[in-house]
């Protein structure tokens, strides 16, 4: 299908190392996964160069420059604050500062997800010259868009941390350490979606339009502007079926509420109904989606990549 490997790799010695022959069943799956990981590691230099290229293209001759890293989160927070203010006016109550801080905290990973998927879904089609002429693991294309978005989000996270712990007066606690596994799962979940959607868009070119619509209205089905308990016991449970919802709520519960994510958290509605605001099973549910889903999506992507050149 492709010409022999000519692209510079990150480790020439690893490139010369033979790969284990796949066996059957579970051993064959392990061997294939090991081959995929080794192959991407060999081409880590290409992955890094593609990430740098995307960063240069994004900021070259841009009016806002590095301000683009903050534009989307600020826009989401502004929209959410306006909605919360309108709801508070109708209910005759005030908007607590902690709820605005929680919304700002959840806006950043949502902006990361939307930005990464928006670029990843067309990553294979927009690099057709590379895909059809040079051999390399195709997954580095969608993964590079996710890494590019990581740089933007890291800048936004730095600014957000200063605002939360100074302006919003969020008290630091040991529960803040939950941010690290939650961010890792958000990254894996985003990478999973990037792999699957870029692959699907290669075979069905209207996928990118469907994704745009879903990303536009997806924020209303993800608890960014609101807390799930506002939807009642059943609505709260249903909204948490969105694999991204427990990860965003976990950030709120751990950082703002300073609650241990290994313990359930109950809240009471105005009608006196007890609602589960957080449960450790939510974390397990999202972990299965993020970790298991990522490797499954990667495996599917890898098995199909040998026919990509025929569909571009």
Task: Please tell me the predicted confidence (pLDDT) of residue 159.
Answer: 86
Q: Phi and psi dihedrals of 268, rounded to 5?
A: -120, 130
Task: Please tell me the predicted confidence (pLDDT) of residue 135.
Answer: 86
Task: Please tell me the predicted confidence (pLDDT) of residue 205.
Answer: 87
- Residue 210 and residue 6: Cα distance in Å, rounded? 36
Task: Please tell me the predicted confidence (pLDDT) of residue 21.
Answer: 55
Task: Please tell me the predicted confidence (pLDDT) of residue 243.
Answer: 95
Contact present, 198 and 122 (Cβ < 8 Å) = yes
- Residue 111 and residue 179: Cα distance in Å, rounded? 16
What radius of gyration do the chain's Cα atoms show?
Answer: 21
Task: Please tell me the predicted confidence (pLDDT) of residue 91.
Answer: 76
CA-based nearest residue to 113, from 148, 141, 146, 143? 146
- Residue 242 and residue 105: Cα distance in Å, rounded? 18
pLDDT by 10s per residue, the chain, length 312: 444 444 444 444 444 445 555 567 788 888 888 999 999 999 999 999 999 998 888 777 677 767 777 787 788 888 888 888 888 887 777 888 888 899 889 999 999 999 999 999 999 999 888 888 888 899 999 999 999 999 888 988 888 888 888 887 788 899 999 999 999 999 999 999 999 999 999 999 889 999 999 999 999 999 998 889 889 889 999 999 999 999 999 999 999 999 999 999 998 877 778 889 999 999 999 999 999 999 999 999 999 988 887 776
Task: Please tell me the predicted confidence (pLDDT) of residue 272.
Answer: 79
Task: Please tell me the predicted confidence (pLDDT) of residue 97.
Answer: 86
Task: Please tell me the predicted confidence (pLDDT) of residue 20.
Answer: 53
CA-based nearest residue to 253, from 171, 188, 178, 154? 178
Model confidence, pTM: 0.86
Task: Please tell me the predicted confidence (pLDDT) of residue 122.
Answer: 93
Task: Please tell me the predicted confidence (pLDDT) of residue 223.
Answer: 93
Secondary structure of the chain in the HEC alphabet? CCCCCCCCCCCHHHHHCCCCCCCCHHHHHHHHHHHHHHHHHHCHHHHHHHHHHHHHHHHCCCCCHHHHHHHHHHHHHHHHHHHHHHHHHHHCCCCCHHHHHHHHHHHHHHHHHHHHHHHHCCCCHHHHHHHHHCCCCCCHHHHHHHHHHHHHHHHHHHHHHHHHHHHCCCCCCHHHHHHHHHHHHHHHHHHHHHHHHHHHHHHCCCHHHHHHHHHHHHHHHCCCCCCHHHHHHHHHHHHCCCCHHHHHHHHHHHHHCCCCCCCCEEEECCCCCEEEEECHHHHHHHHHHHHHHHHHHHHHHHHHHHHHHHHC
Task: Please tell me the predicted confidence (pLDDT) of residue 10.
Answer: 46
- Residue 171 and residue 121: Cα distance in Å, rounded? 39
Task: Please tell me the predicted confidence (pLDDT) of residue 232.
Answer: 87
């Amino acid at each position: 299908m492709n010409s022999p490997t000519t692209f510079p790799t990150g480790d020439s010695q690893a490139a010369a190392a033979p790969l284990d022959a796949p066996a059957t069943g579970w051993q064959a799956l392990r061997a294939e996964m090991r081959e995929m990981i080794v192959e991407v590691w060999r081409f880590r230099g290409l992955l890094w160069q593609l990430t740098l290229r995307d960063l240069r293209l994004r900021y070259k001759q841009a009016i806002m420059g590095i301000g683009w890293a903050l534009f989307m989160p600020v826009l989401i927070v502004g929209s959410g604050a306006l909605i919360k203010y309108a709801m508070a006016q109708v209910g005759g109550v005030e908007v607590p500062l902690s709820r605005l801080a929680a919304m700002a905290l959840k806006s950043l990973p949502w902006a990361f997800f939307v930005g990464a998927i928006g670029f990843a879904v067309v990553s294979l089609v927009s690099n057709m010259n590379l895909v059809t002429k040079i051999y390399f693991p195709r997954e580095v294309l969608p993964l590079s868009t996710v890494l590019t978005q990581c740089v933007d989000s890291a800048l936004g996270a730095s600014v957000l941390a200063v605002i939360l712990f100074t302006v919003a007066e969020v008290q630091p606690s040991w529960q803040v350490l939950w941010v690290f596994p939650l961010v890792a799962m958000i990254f894996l979940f985003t990478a999973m979606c990037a792999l699957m959607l870029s692959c699907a868009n290669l075979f069905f070119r209207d996928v990118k339009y469907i994704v745009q619509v879903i990303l536009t209205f997806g924020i209303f089905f993800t608890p960014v502007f609101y807390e799930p308990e506002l939807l009642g016991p059943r609505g709260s449970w249903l909204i948490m079926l969105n694999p991204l919802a427990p990860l965003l709520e976990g950030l709120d519960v751990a950082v703002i509420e300073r609650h241990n994510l290994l313990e359930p958290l109950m809240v009471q509605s105005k009608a006196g109904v007890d609602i589960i605001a957080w449960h450790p099973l939510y974390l397990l549910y999202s972990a299965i989606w993020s970790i298991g889903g990522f490797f499954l999506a990667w495996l599917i992507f890898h098995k199909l990549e040998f026919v990509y050149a025929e569909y571009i």
